[in-house]
Amino acid sequence: DGGITQSPKYLFRKEGQNVTLSCEQNLNHDAMYWYRQDPGQGLRLIYYSQIVNDFQKGDIAEGYSVSREKKESFPLTVTSAQKNPTAFYLCASTTGGSGANVLTFGAGSRLTVL
Amino acid sequence: DAKTTQPPSMDCAEGRAANLPCNHSTISGNEYVYWYRQIHSQGPQYIIHGLKNNETNEMASLIITEDRKSSTLILPHATLRDTAVYYCIVRANSGNTPLVFGKGTRLSVIA
């Protein structure tokens, strides 16, 4: 079945460590997104990529980095510069054109900083 | 993108219809209304979208007023598994910028 796979589902990190969250899709979607969600809040956009080897910052990109070397993959690195990284992270993808607003989401990765 | 307003929370009895309202009084002529839902600790799930005609699929119905300034998502026979946060988003169909998710409406289906 086609879909988006995020890993790991749960991740614990010590302060000062970088961590990378994986996002892989087999939907042949062009665009991919990373959102962050804090308890009781909506989703906030971190980074997005509409094509391989290109990506743009979202509203809260500071302390995060991404790469888009393959169409299927869009990993997110949470760096030590992110002041409050504990959150639920969601990856999504979509086709372009008229289907651009129908997003498919992964199951999410929950990061806890100890 | 047009701004949307949704009530923060609603309750619905199991088996009854759940009617979730959304106001979007500044909607433009080329903007669609999209609905997503997010079950606790999962990723959001697309439900339905429409421009001006009412739409129905296997999950829900979308009723858009004639002036397009508001809409209602209808779950005809709510079950406990429909308990979730429901997001209403207004966007042009071929928008090149990412969707913005607000706080949505938290629907609690009660047995």
Is A42 within 8 Å of B101 when comparing Cβ atoms? Answer: yes
**B96: which chain A residues are within 8 Å (Cβ-Cβ)?**
50, 100
The candidate with the shortest Cα–Cα distance to B103, out of B3, B6, B1, is B6
List pLDDT tens digits, range A31-52. Answer: 999 999 998 888 999 999 999 9
Contact criterion met (CB below 8 Å) for A38 and A25:
no
Look at residue B95 and tell me whether its pLDDT is greater than 90.
no
Contacts of B88 (CB under 8 A, 6+ apart): B4, B6, B20, B22, B24, B33, B34, B35, B71, B73, B104, B105
Contact call for B98 and A58, based on CB within 8 A = yes
Tens of pLDDT, residue by residue over B23-50, are 999 999 889 999 999 999 999 999 999 9
Residue of B nearest to A106 (CA): B43
Q: What are φ and ψ of residue B81, in 5° steps?
A: -70, -10
pLDDT at site A81: 87
**CA-based nearest distance B108→chain A, Å:** 15
The string of pLDDT tens digits covering residues B57-83 is 999 999 999 999 999 999 999 999 999
Any B CB within 8 A of A102 CB: yes
Among A6, A23, A43, A102, most B C-beta atoms within 10 A, so best to mutate, is: A43
